[in-house]
Amino acid sequence: MKDLIVSAGKMMLEGSFAVHDKEGMANFVTDKDVEIQKYLIRELSERYPGCGFYGEEDTEGNQHESRGQCFYIDPIDGTTNYIFGYNHSCVSVGESIDGKMAAGYVYNPFTDEYYEARRGEGARLNGRELRIRDRGLGEGIVAFGCARYNEGDRVFRVLEELFMRSLSIRNGGSAALDLCRIAKGSNVGYVEMKLQPYDYAAASVIIEEAGGEITTAEGREITLDGPCSIVAGTKAAAKEIRRILGC
Ligand code: LIP
């Protein structure tokens, strides 16, 4: 799987691309997003005949299926970052079996960081095992996500409190990478009030296999058949973030 995900990621570094608007304010897609998703669906279909896909972009073979073996594909997570040359974007591929996440793969071609995890087999970054130390909110950086196309993003009402109760806050612009940074130990927590399954599916396995936690803002199980809010982190920090949100 590593060769496939890395080759898909390196496609981001090649050639030029056109930008197109999607529904809602500041919601973009590039030709590269579409090209990479088509490549991944083609390759994964050959390797796993009959598997389903839940991808971000509207391409052939993307059924938003969640039964049987299903791949959650975000071809470029952090598309706006990619358009503006932020070098903080990734390919994210999560695998579920009968509605339960089984594996996650996230690759940032700009930093050559490859995250992977399979249920019961732990999480690794470039082959190094990841184990989360259960730090509290006050012992680290909390990252958050927000989107102009999600009208009235509720995250802003708690940002000041998150800032005052942590060492600092960050808005990275790629949920998958900012979630994986919890497993890496760079972030103690992450919050975004509305995300799609292809944004968090892969990273959810990486965080949990590294010893962290990911739930909705209400503390419920994340959804794989539609969008939900996301609170993730070390167990201690995730609990503090949910308390601050008061959902
Ligand atoms: C992005 C997420 C980010 C969120 C953006 C967008 P995309 O995904 O990674 O956290 O705030 O609104 O959803 O669209 O770049 O794949």
**pLDDT tens, per residue, the chain with 247 residues:** 999 999 999 999 998 999 999 988 999 999 999 999 999 999 999 999 989 999 999 777 776 655 689 999 999 999 999 999 999 999 999 999 989 999 999 999 999 999 999 999 999 999 999 999 999 999 999 999 999 887 666 788 899 999 999 999 999 999 999 999 999 999 999 999 999 999 999 999 999 999 999 999 999 999 999 999 999 999 999 999 999 999 7
Is the minimum distance from the CB of 199 to ligand 1 under 6 angstroms? yes
| Rounded distance between C-alpha atoms, residue 25 and residue 37, angstroms | 23
If you search the block for the tokens 């939900």, which residue do you land on? 228
First to last CA, the chain: 38
106 Cβ below 6 A of ligand 1 = no
Evaluate: CB of 146 within 6 angstroms of ligand 1.
Answer: yes
Q: Is 92 in the pocket of ligand 1 (CB under 6 A)?
A: no
**Which DSSP letter does residue 129 get?**
E
* Nearest residue to 221 (alpha-carbon basis) of 211, 232, 210: 232
- 56 within ligand 1 shell (Cβ under 6 A): yes
| d(CA 54, ligand 1 centre) in Å | 16
For the stretch 201-242, pLDDT in tens is 999 999 999 999 999 999 999 999 999 999 999 999 999 999
Length of the chain: 247
**pLDDT tens track for 24-49:** 899 999 999 999 999 999 999 999 99
Q: Which candidate, 96, 97, 95, 94, places its Cα nearest to that of 106?
A: 94
Within 10 Å of residue 65's Cβ, how many Cβ atoms?
Answer: 16
| CB 222 near ligand 1, within 6 Å | no
CA of 36 relative to ligand 1 center, distance in Å:
16
How many angstroms is it from 176 CA to the middle of ligand 1? 8
Q: Cα of 221 to ligand 1 centre, how many Å?
A: 20
78 CA: nearest ligand 1 atom: 15
Q: Three-state DSSP class for 170?
A: strand
Contact 32, 82 (CB under 8 A): yes
Ligand 1 pocket check for 83: Cβ under 6 Å? no
d(CA 106, CA 125): 9
Q: Is the CB of 172 under 6 A from ligand 1?
A: no
Residues 6+ apart with CB under 8 A from 84: none
Q: What is the C-alpha to C-alpha distance for residues 25 and 237, in angstroms, rounded to an integer?
A: 31
Q: Is 218 helix (H, G, I), strand (E, B) or coil?
A: coil
Nearest CA to ligand 1 atom 12: 147
Instruction: List the structure tokens of 149.
Output: 């196309």
How many C-beta atoms surround the C-beta of residue 206 within 10 A? 30
**Does the CB atom of residue 79 touch ligand 1 within 6 A?**
yes
* Cα–Cα distance for residue pair 229/225, rounded to 1 Å: 13
H or E stretch covering 124: strand 123-125
What structural domains and CATH numbers belong to the chain? 2-130 (3.30.540.10), 137-245 (3.40.190.80)
CB of residue 57 inside a 6 A radius of ligand 1: no
Residue with tokens 């989107």: 147
Residue 24 CB coordination number (10 Å): 11
